[in-house]
Structure 1
Amino acid sequence: MKRLILASNLLPVHIQWGNGKYQIEKEEETTISGLQNFYSEFETEWVGLTPFENHDFNTKEIRKLETALEPFHCVPVFPRQRDRDLHLHGFSRNTLWPLFHYFTENVTYSEVSWKAYVKINRMYAEKILEIIQDGDILWVHDYHLLMLPQMIREQRPDISIGLFVHIPFPSFELFRLLPWRLELIEGMLGADLIGCQTYDNVRHFMSSVRRLTGVDSVFNRISLGERTLKVDV
């Protein structure tokens, strides 16, 4: 059976610590609602963060939780607490989310948060590169990991990569306000397939690609050297 590597902000499990061991239960992952039938055709491995936001894991704790998650086909990523906070509550939720939803008055631009965002995307890439095999497919979920496709592409150009953005993609007039707009676009262009919520979002993304990189599209396809990126809903 073909393997599918999934990457998202959180692992689709509920984890509690009690009686000297981890209690783990599978949860329905809301980001894949409606896609379970598709995923059931693959052997899946899920890469993401644990629910423990306010804890820095030591080496022993990391190994113990990694082992406990193996039967659930989950591969945890363990950033430092401060980096995780800056990534999630800083750049993802205070920069990307309001900007992509047109709430420009609520956007915060922070170089520190941006660096944490890149750092955690890099941690995901390193973890995925440890487990990915020839013939695997990588599917990246949402705006927390927009840099990840290109990070994987640089090391494994043979891997098929999909990205779905679960929030709107804004018009270029808004997206251009982001100091790191080119870096994010280049990160997303590492994918072979990008899924958006609406055709307006597709059009906005194509416009940003054209204006920032000079690369044009034909219908919903972008030619990137020897490969073609498709953007669809």
Structure 2
Amino acid sequence: MTRLIVVSNRVNPPTGAGEESVGGLAMALAAALREYSGLWFGWSGQSTPTFTGQLSMQKIEGVTAATIDLEESDVEEYYNGYANKTLWPLFHYRTDIAAYDRAFNEGYQRANRRFAETLRPLIEPDDLIWIHDYHLIPLARELRRLGLKNRMGFFLHVPWPAYQVFVTLPGHRQLVESMFDYDLVGFQTEDYRQAFEEYVLSEAGGEKVGDDLFKAFGRSVRVGAFPIGIDAPDFARLIKTNRARRMRDLMTACTVFRHLIVGVDRLDYSKGLEERFTGFERFLAADPDMRREVLMLQIAPVSRESVEAYQEIRARLDAISGRINGEYADVDWAPFRYVNKNYRRDELAGIYGAARIGLVTPLRDGMNLVAKEFVASQNPEDPGVLILSRFAGAARQMKEALLVNPNSPDEIADAIRRGLAMDKPERIRRWSALFDNVQREDVTAWRDAFVDALKGVEERRTALAS
């Protein structure tokens, strides 16, 4: 029987209790693993002074999870270093802060080799291997070196940068070459797939065979766009829960303001938070009659606190939010709330449902599921307006949102003004089209499309050879 082996940097299967805290991606992968009697393998999040490769196995809600602890040097060089100081900024077009340190790359290769050596004994000949995200790009190469011949797919959740940006990475050719050890490579959007194609044809001297098959480095790989979605049925359930209703009622009970503007992002320099804050500030400056009509709530849980760039962005955001309230608040009212804490998904659903405007303005994003969750949370009879960065992957599917250049605070301010003034028929028309897409192209459709494509790789190659 064919099993599905999912590999990711961290393992996060639903626990049954408090599922509202687990993301839609984890729910979808867990459902696939239950269907295929599969295994979810990755890092435990814990460190150990010396790497042992000892596996921790547990079964959670029908999903077998296998985790390992990483050596402290691996955490520093592989995770904090190459993954988060080199690849993350590079893939988000921040070459100015990308750190190119040879020790980081060595740690990245070492950690992937250790993942492969620990995972290899768990794999059976008919298993499908599905590897996730930029942390684990070389993992297929390491598994092939250990003799594995199984079909292996890779999905990149973040953007793939333009050719001119990617070549600034030392060792870029070796990284792409390792991707040709996969049978299928998936990207969030057609734009990212085309950027990868440009690199293969221009830099690697590869060739395109058919619509989606590329040859280079003496091997071939199928490449496709698989836009991820949310778990639409599950989110429909969440917005009806008592916790979601209480949060929605809490946000609408205040009589000081009429319209809630909400943003929810992990605290990260790629999310465009400085420009977003400044855009709201300019809206307040230009529209004095609206100052007591609106409240902007920005939820930004802190992450990667040990990385200097994240410490710097947090300090700047603290300063801007303080400046806004210092300038425009009154004794009984403040226009801006900036919160650095996590909320459950059902609580967020209630907040989204109370909002007149959802501000989703990353400078660059692989997809951005907050945009889709905001749409799924709206009242069909009186929906809010989504303001969305044109540089988020979601913009390719969600053209009925108000699309903005996230680098322009003035454009953000104009979109806030337009969204608040939009009449109900237009809001309903735009929301209906957005909601239709959220339902059709949900996380289950994404999962099934990728797994079906991976299952069909062998047959396709046989047909191509004949």
Equivalent residue number for residue 21 of structure 1: none
My pick for the range that moved more, 154-163 or 200-209, is 154-163
Distance 2:208 2:51 in 1: 47
Q: How many angstroms does 1:37 deviate by? A: 4.7
Distance 2:203 2:27 in 1: 33
Measured against aligned partners, the alpha-carbon deviations of 1:154-190 in whole angstroms (never above 9, x if no partner) come to: 3335200010000000111011111110111011111
My pick for the range that moved more, 104-113 or 39-48, is 39-48
Is 1:77–1:123's contact at 8 Å kept on the other side of the alignment? no
Q: How many angstroms does 1:212 deviate by? A: 3.4
Paired residue secondary structure (1:105): coil
CA gap of 1:58–1:28, structure 2 versus 1, over 3 A, is same
Distance 1:124 1:169 in 2: 23
Measured against aligned partners, the alpha-carbon deviations of 1:20-70 in whole angstroms (never above 9, x if no partner) come to: xxxxx99846555645554443111111111224x43786xx75x725x36
CA gap of 1:5–1:90, structure 2 versus 1, over 3 A, is same
Paired residue secondary structure (2:56): helix
**Bigger Rg, which one:** 2
Distance 2:145 2:216 in 1: 14
CA gap of 1:202–1:32, structure 2 versus 1, over 3 A, is farther
1:56 aligns with 2:52: no
More strand by share: 1
Distance 2:128 2:23 in 1: 19
Is 2:128–2:152's contact at 8 Å kept on the other side of the alignment? yes
1:173 aligns with 2:156: no
Paired residue secondary structure (1:51): strand
Equivalent residue number for residue 214 of structure 2: 222
1:7 aligns with 2:1: no
Equivalent residue number for residue 343 of structure 2: none
User: What amino acid sits opposite 2:56 in the alignment?
Assistant: E
Is 1:95–1:108's contact at 8 Å kept on the other side of the alignment? yes
Distance 2:148 2:104 in 1: 28
More helix by share: 2
Distance 2:218 2:92 in 1: 34
User: What amino acid sits opposite 1:214 in the alignment?
Assistant: G
User: What amino acid sits opposite 1:153 in the alignment?
Assistant: R
Count of aligned pairs = 220
Distance 2:51 2:223 in 1: 41
CA gap of 1:70–1:39, structure 2 versus 1, over 3 A, is closer
Is 2:161–2:195's contact at 8 Å kept on the other side of the alignment? yes
My pick for the range that moved more, 70-79 or 25-34, is 25-34
Equivalent residue number for residue 66 of structure 1: 56
Equivalent residue number for residue 424 of structure 2: none
Distance 1:14 1:121 in 2: 25
Equivalent residue number for residue 18 of structure 1: none
- Percentage of identical aligned residues: 28
Q: How many angstroms does 1:225 deviate by? A: 9.1
Gaps of at least 5 residues in structure 1 are 16-24
Equivalent residue number for residue 41 of structure 1: 35
Is 1:151–1:190's contact at 8 Å kept on the other side of the alignment? no
My pick for the range that moved more, 27-36 or 134-143, is 27-36
1:95 aligns with 2:104: no
CA gap of 1:187–1:227, structure 2 versus 1, over 3 A, is closer
Gaps of at least 5 residues in structure 2 are 226-466
Paired residue secondary structure (1:66): strand
Measured against aligned partners, the alpha-carbon deviations of 1:96-150 in whole angstroms (never above 9, x if no partner) come to: 0111111111111000000000000101111121111111111000000000112
User: What amino acid sits opposite 1:124 in the alignment?
Assistant: F
Distance 2:35 2:216 in 1: 29
Distance 1:199 1:213 in 2: 20
Q: How many angstroms does 1:75 deviate by? A: 1.8
Distance 1:193 1:105 in 2: 31
Distance 2:102 2:51 in 1: 28
Equivalent residue number for residue 147 of structure 2: 156
RMSD after superposition: 2.9
CA gap of 1:75–1:57, structure 2 versus 1, over 3 A, is farther
CA gap of 1:34–1:75, structure 2 versus 1, over 3 A, is closer
